[in-house]
Amino acid sequence: MPARKTSTLEKINNILSERLETKKPEDIKPHHDLRRDLGADSLDYYELAYYFEEELGVSISEEKGWEIRTVNEIYREVLSQLGEHTKYEKGKIINETRRVISACYPVIDEKRIVSRAHLWHDLGITNLMKKCCGRCPGGHDNPNKKLIELIEQKYDIKFDREKDNLNMDTVGDFYRLVLSKTHPKNKQK
């Protein structure tokens, strides 16, 4: 059986455990305060920054390092630099996107808007990135256009209507597209 891949959060916990020598990696929790719960002092902050850069390839500036107080803040900083969302951030973006879809398509029960739902077959949503038909004098209330505009405004992102529609069959595909666009490294202004 192949070895299980170590997640980024596990790697962070391993570094904290090895360097601070206070808890086992599995006992380190996101809410733990670095100083109070894990016993970090000012020298530990420098060493941790060094090991995060050495082992994970992320750079935490001295200024940013002093702002970090909890393990969760380390998670967010490291995951942000690595191009990953935390589970909480993913869940929040997915839930907010689901609410926007529901608001744009009030005839669809929000409980049916799940990742595996097929946009067309299950929900009746046609080509999400399609522009207005072009025949109407601007009064056409296109829910697809409204949905895309609301998501773009909510997350300050921009969709490429030609490129981003490729291979978008399910709600999960749309969530993945929104998640990729909302990551700071991928935001297009």
Q: How many other C-beta atoms are found inside a 10 Å radius of the C-beta of residue 79?
A: 20
Claim to verify: residue 148 and residue 75 sit in the same structural domain: no
Domain that holds residue 111: 87-182
CATH code where residue 32 lies: 1.10.1200.10
User: In angstroms, rounded to a whole number, what is the distance separating the alpha carbons of residues 72 and 62?
Assistant: 18
Q: Based on the structure, what is the number of domains in the chain?
A: 2
Residue at which a domain ends, from 82, 100, 125: 82
19-59 tens-digit pLDDT: 998 889 999 999 999 999 999 998 898 899 899 999 988 88
Query: What pLDDT does 17 receive?
Result: 94
Residue 187 lies in a domain: no
Instruction: Report the pLDDT value the prediction gives residue 129, as an integer from 0 to 100.
Output: 59
Measured N-to-C along each axis, helices 71-82 and 42-56 cross at an angle, to the nearest 10 degrees, of 30
Decide if 102 contacts 57 (C-beta within 8 A).
no
Across the chain, mean pLDDT equals 81
Query: Is residue 47 assigned to a domain?
Result: yes
Residue 20 lies in a domain: yes
Residue with tokens 């109070």: 36
Kindly report, residue by residue over 109-140, the tens digit of the pLDDT.
888 898 898 888 888 887 665 554 544 444 44
